[in-house]
Amino acid sequence: MSTAATARKQASSFLKDVITGLNASPKYLSSKYFYDAKGDALFQQIMQCREYYLTRCEMEILSRQSGDMAAVLAASGGEPFDLIELGAGDASKSFHLLKELLHRGTLHRYYPIDISANIIAHLEHTLPAKLPGLQMEGLNGDYLEMLQQTRNYARRKRVIMFMGASIGNFTPPEALQFCCKLRQQMLPGDMLIIGFDLKKHPRIILPAYNDAQGITRAFNLNLLHRINRELEANFNADNFDHYPVYDPQSGSCKSYLISLTEQVVEIGGGMATVRFKKDEPLYMEISQKYTVEEIHQMMESAGFSPVRQFYDSKRWFTDTVWQCL
């Protein structure tokens, strides 16, 4: 499909999803739409926030243990493999692993997949210069669709990476279903690396989604601004409050925007009219936390066997390696 056709298709499903979510009861929006150019920039700022520990923990794992990880990936078989990264972002974390794999000569080609066309263009422009010898092909689109598309490529051993606790944006049943779908795309010998944020004291988790500078608040409100910009809507972001909650029992951290007044919003230049009551919540995002036991249970029911878990020094985060038998 051409870039223009892809963009049109993305715009029409954005409108459809927004209208569906705002007409539902309770109301919701999908966090996958957070990442336009402004949202990407705000997320970069979140990752730098003092309270947002996830990125620092995972960066520590990859900067210190990429050598071990590369050895674990290369162990079975030894022949060069393709590395497919779902939601590669700026690849600043996978960079360490890519370097180790190139050094060992075990990487055939790197395929970063991202829903942001910006990010993929940027990676293709900058990464080969920083990693001499790197062969890469960026894929812009939905993870599973793009993964499906690579099924026609010459088949080598594959390692699929899904880092950054992105899996946390699924509810546990959705995460299980997603892992089952990944499993269907994989063959015996292929491997999967997933990053999970672990359950820990609520006083550590909640502030990560409610930073004092208000960047996370701006990140959430940016989706309303994006809807205004792209879908001819008239949200007044000042009429919504950012409200995150964490439930230590289920491990779900959810963020809401609370309507501060009774208000009416038009979307699609009058195509849809949405009414909010005063104090009505709009569900924006889940960031699910797991225990190590819960991770094992889910991954094994999706058909994966454990290879190795990597932890940061605080044991707040884990990058887990799995194998298909």
Q: Which is nearer to ligand AVJ, 55 or 106 (CB)?
A: 55
Q: Please report where in the chains the tokens 């402004």 appear, as a residue.
A: 38
Binding mask 126-155 for ligand AVJ (x = CB under 6 A): ------------------------------
In this complex, which beta carbon is closest to ligand AVJ, that of residue 54 or of residue 321? Answer: 54
Q: Check: CB of residue 91 under 8 Å from CB of residue 102.
A: no
With a CB cutoff of 8 Å and minimum separation 6, the contacts of 106 are 70, 73, 74, 78, 80, 81
* SS3 at position 306: strand
The side-by-side arrangement of strands in the sheet containing 305-311 is 139-140, 107-114, 81-86, 158-162, 191-197, 317-323, 305-311
Binding flag, residue 166, ligand AVJ (CB under 6 A):
yes
How far is CA 216 from each of CA 11, 210, 222, 295, rounded to the nearest angstrom? 25, 6, 10, 27
Residues for the chain: how many in total?
A: 325
What track of x and - describes contact with ligand AVJ for positions 51 through 70 (by CB under 6 A)? ---x----------------
Q: Is 164 in the site for ligand AVJ (CB under 6 A)?
A: yes
When asked if residue 21 is in the footprint of ligand AVJ (CB under 6 A), the reply is: no
- Is 42 a binding residue for ligand AVJ by CB under 6 A? The answer is no
Q: Does 186 bind ligand AVJ (CB under 6 A)?
A: no
Among residues 18, 29, 42, 46, which is the contact residue for ligand AVJ, using CB under 6 A?
46
Of the candidates 58, 85, 83, 73, the one whose C-alpha atom is nearest the C-alpha of residue 198 is 58
Whichever of 82 and 112 has its CB closer to ligand AVJ, that residue is 112
Distance CA 79, CA 51 (A): 41
Question: What is d(CA 117, CA 139) in angstroms, rounded to the nearest whole number?
Answer: 8
Q: Whose Cβ is closer to ligand AVJ: residue 111's or residue 219's? A: 219
Closest residue to ligand AVJ: CB criterion: 287
- 165 forms part of the interface with ligand AVJ (CB under 6 A): yes
Q: What angle do CA 37, 38, 40 make, to 5 degrees?
A: 65
Stretch that binds ligand AVJ, among 19-27, 57-65, 162-170, 304-312 (CB under 6 A): 162-170
Taking the C-alpha atoms of residue 148 and residue 144, their distance in angstroms, rounded to an integer, is: 6
Q: Tell me which of 140, 216, 259, 320 binds ligand AVJ, using CB under 6 A.
A: 216
| From 53, 110, 178, 209, residue interacting with ligand AVJ (rule: CB under 6 A) | 209
In the complex, minimum distance from the CB of residue 217 to ligand AVJ, in angstroms, rounded to a whole number: 10
User: Which stretch in 91-99, 131-139, 160-168, 264-272 sits in contact with ligand AVJ by CB under 6 A?
Assistant: 160-168
* Min CB(285)–ligand AVJ separation in Å: 6
Distance between CA 154 and CA 254 in Å, rounded? 41
Residue 286 Cβ vs ligand AVJ, minimum distance, rounded to whole Å: 8
Residue 168 touches ligand AVJ, criterion: CB under 6 A: yes
Helices in the chain by DSSP H: which ranges?
3-23, 37-48, 53-75, 94-104, 117-130, 143-149, 172-184, 202-208, 215-231, 292-301
Query: C-alpha angle 307/311/313, rounded to 5°?
Result: 155
Interacting residue ranges for ligand AVJ, rule: CB under 6 A? 46, 54, 164-166, 168-169, 209, 216, 219, 285, 287
